[in-house]
Structure 1
Amino acid sequence: MPPPPPSMLMEELLEEVFFRLLPDEPAWLVRASAVCKPWRSILADPVFRRRYREFHGTPPVLGLFEKLSPRLVPIPAFFPAQTYHPDWAAMDCRHGRALFCQFGETRDLIVLDPLTGRQCQVPSPPHYPVYFSAAVLCAAQGCDHHNCQAGHFRVVMCPSKLEGVTLGWMYSSETRLWTELTSDIHPTADYYSVSAMPSILVGDAVYFNVDAVIECQLGTLCFSMFEKPTDDNGTLMMVEDDVLGFAAVVDVTLTLWSREAGPEGAMGWIKLRVIDLKTLLPNVALFIPSALVINGYAEGTQVIFVRTSVGCYMVDLKLGRSRKVSYHGRKSFPYTSFYIPDSCTSAAMEAASPGQGQ
């Protein structure tokens, strides 16, 4: 068989180079597409985009929504403009979607795709709790969640004050109905969290971090409840091998726990490691140790967000580095997704590279 023509070889080599452009810097893809029409043609190809997502696997952190703020705080420099909705409050982010509560008489929920602006209004459940946490997630079975923002989704709502046997509700965008979720759990005390707390999806269960940890098994819609490893303010996260974990700051150290089976088979918290934040944060961020609080976690990664007296820092525990991403330090809902800008295929990009690739 004769070798392929040089143009085909060059295209394959270029694809391998483009695969290695980091997804957390979308501007690099835009600049590459502006070089010439052949390059733009490669980047616009749906097959390349699918393989690009598969190559990188874990979606990058593109920004964060902060408590009581409906506008995305972008982390990359290049990101589409966001419409401001002053009557929205951020509740959750997952699988390329963001969830908001809409203030007003109805207090409906809004599911938004920040990359396209596409939104879906979710009516409030029949018995609306005053305080609650909520999670949004893809409804497709076996999905890799690389590009499913336009598909069906579910919303799981957990009231922050637990009373009786009602522990939550689940909404399906396919049926457009809420299902009341009940349990035989009878808490000995009321559990309060006066505002939305980030949830986490581990395996087939959603976990809510109120005064205790509430687990909702999606397959059986069964609830369970267990204590957190510490009374200190912390966050649920995922640790090695996709295991539920917990992280909390004490003084200037970060302690990580994992929930595992003990020698006798009972589930419990095991301390994994203690990290000195002096090795991760600049001195100015450590000036007031009592201000250090974990206020967010990027699901599926080893990235946490730490509130300090001078703002919010994104800390990558795997790479051992940090960067300041916000001056406010409010409760954060990180947004992760793959973003290959539409401008890679637009006529505007052709105008940005006149006379090239002809």
Structure 2
Amino acid sequence: MSPAAPPLEDENLLAEILLRLPPLPSTLPRASLVCKRWRLLVSDVRFFRRFREHHRHSPPLLGCFVEGDRCVSYTPTMDPPHRVPGERLSLQLNESCHSWVLGCRHGLVLISPNSRNHVLVWDPVTGEQHRIAFPPGFVGVANSIHGAVLRAAGEARHFQVILVGVGGQDKQHMRLLARVYSSEKGVWGALISPLIPFEGYTTRGIFAIYFRGFSALMLGNSLYWCLGGRSDAILEFDLERQILDVIRLPPCLSEVDLLQFAVMRAEGGGLGLLSILGFTAQLWKRKTDSHGVASWGWEELLNWTSYYP
């Protein structure tokens, strides 16, 4: 029986080792310089797909995109050799008005011009762009629109765009909107448009409802956005079941003026909520009891004044 090959000489073991390298910009280019064998391995499309999928849930923060007039600028946050120059991942737009970055996910950026009649899906690495016209029901809805872009697990070519909005409201109800675009099919899916009663939600004297300026949080098969204005609440879209709903804030926050809040991934998993009032921050977690009823549970209180002399 021949002796086992050393780990770095075994093709399968080497791939498993390289797969677990940190997902930093310089990792694979530096690995490719070791030898021709390593270069062929890390440049293989199948390996790269596995590498991206392996680190899908723990990607590093490389930088952020900032919208401006006729441009989307990239600001790097890492130091060399992992630092990607800002000009490499910035985009000049032909739009004559301000554009908004709705979110970034799975290597794609979703941009909405202020004209609000289309969205732009941009791959900052390849430079590829896809201009997608708004579907019926979304044109002219002004500030009450948000969205997200994503790829399915293991998918390298095709993507989905999720567009959500508040299509109308009166004193008792608000009409929610959602549609999903598939790049594989090239069409928008059916309109999802439930009518949600205001009862039990924050209802101030402000009539308009708007999306707060945060990108969507993705947990499992659901996306979450923060609503403000007349209704401080959380909008949830379940991708798998194609259901759109609104989650109330904890009762003690429902009548707080000037409340700042954001959704987040809770410690241990699940939906979390960060609420800020003055110098106090509260952490909440969405929990489900034995009867399947979901509610908010208080987790932690942070007083920022204790961090200053």
Classify the TM-score, shorter chain: 0.7 to 0.9
CA distance in 1, matches of 2:174, 2:297: 30
Q: Which residue in the other structure is 1:335 paired with? A: none
Instruction: Look up the SS of the partner of 2:192 in the other structure.
Output: strand
Instruction: Look up the SS of the partner of 1:182 in the other structure.
Output: coil
| Amino-acid identity (%) | 24
CA distance in 1, matches of 2:305, 2:37: 48
CA distance in 1, matches of 2:11, 2:127: 33
CA distance in 1, matches of 2:16, 2:305: 38
The structure 2 residue matched to 1:206, chosen from 217, 220, 223, is 223
Per-residue CA deviation, residues 271-306 of structure 1 (Å, 9 max, x unaligned), is: 122356689xxx8xx79xxxxxxxxxxxxxxxxxxx
Q: Determine whether 1:116 maps to 2:126.
A: yes
Once the 2 structures are TM-superposed, how far is the Cα of residue 228 of structure 1 from its aligned partner?
A: 2.0
Once the 2 structures are TM-superposed, how far is the Cα of residue 109 of structure 1 from its aligned partner?
A: 0.6
CA distance in 1, matches of 2:47, 2:304: 40
The structure 2 residue matched to 1:75, chosen from 74, 77, 81, is 77
Code of the aligned partner of 1:134: H
Q: Which residues of 2 match residues 211-290 of structure 1 at below 5 A? A: 211=228, 212-229=233-250, 230=253, 231=256, 232-251=259-278, 254-262=281-289, 266-275=293-302
CA distance in 1, matches of 2:26, 2:67: 27
Aligned-residue CA RMSD in angstroms? 3.5
Matched-pair contact (CA < 8 Å) for 1:139–1:154: no
The structure 1 residue matched to 2:196, chosen from 174, 185, 206, is 185
CA distance in 2, matches of 1:41, 1:214: 46
Code of the aligned partner of 1:209: C
Alpha-carbon spacing, 1:161–1:10, altered in 2? closer, same or farther (3 Å): same
Instruction: Look up the SS of the partner of 1:38 in the other structure.
Output: helix
Once the 2 structures are TM-superposed, how far is the Cα of residue 253 of structure 1 from its aligned partner?
A: 5.2
CA distance in 2, matches of 1:54, 1:139: 11
Q: Which residue in the other structure is 2:60 paired with? A: 60
Q: Which residue in the other structure is 1:135 paired with? A: 147
Q: Which residue in the other structure is 2:178 paired with? A: 169
Q: Which residue in the other structure is 1:32 paired with? A: 31
Per-residue CA deviation, residues 134-173 of structure 1 (Å, 9 max, x unaligned), is: 2324464xx2xxx535213132222386456631130322
Alpha-carbon spacing, 1:149–1:197, altered in 2? closer, same or farther (3 Å): farther
CA distance in 1, matches of 2:121, 2:246: 27
Matched-pair contact (CA < 8 Å) for 1:96–1:149: no
CA distance in 1, matches of 2:158, 2:107: 11
Once the 2 structures are TM-superposed, how far is the Cα of residue 263 of structure 1 from its aligned partner?
A: 7.3
Q: Which residues of 2 match residues 15-54 of structure 1 at below 5 A? A: 15=15, 18-23=18-23, 25-54=24-53
Per-residue CA deviation, residues 107-133 of structure 1 (Å, 9 max, x unaligned), is: 311112222222211102323211124
Q: Which residues of 2 match residues 317-336 of structure 1 at below 5 A? A: none
Per-residue CA deviation, residues 227-281 of structure 1 (Å, 9 max, x unaligned), is: 22334212111214541111134455543211113577532211122356689xx
Once the 2 structures are TM-superposed, how far is the Cα of residue 18 of structure 1 from its aligned partner?
A: 3.5
Per-residue CA deviation, residues 66-100 of structure 1 (Å, 9 max, x unaligned), is: 35562232334036433223743101222332211
CA distance in 1, matches of 2:178, 2:72: 23
Gaps of 5+ in 2: none
Once the 2 structures are TM-superposed, how far is the Cα of residue 223 of structure 1 from its aligned partner?
A: 2.9
Instruction: Look up the SS of the partner of 2:84 in the other structure.
Output: coil
CA distance in 1, matches of 2:190, 2:281: 39
Alpha-carbon spacing, 1:13–1:275, altered in 2? closer, same or farther (3 Å): farther
Code of the aligned partner of 2:221: D
Q: TM-score, normalised by structure 2?
A: 0.72
Q: TM-score, normalised by structure 1?
A: 0.64
Code of the aligned partner of 1:130: A
Instruction: Look up the SS of the partner of 1:226 in the other structure.
Output: strand
* Larger helix fraction of residues: 1
- Higher relative CO (Cα under 8 Å, sequence separation at least 6) belongs to 1
Q: Determine whether 1:100 maps to 2:117.
A: no
Q: Which moved more, 1:66-75 or 1:95-104?
A: 66-75
CA distance in 2, matches of 1:67, 1:57: 25
Matched-pair contact (CA < 8 Å) for 1:160–1:191: no
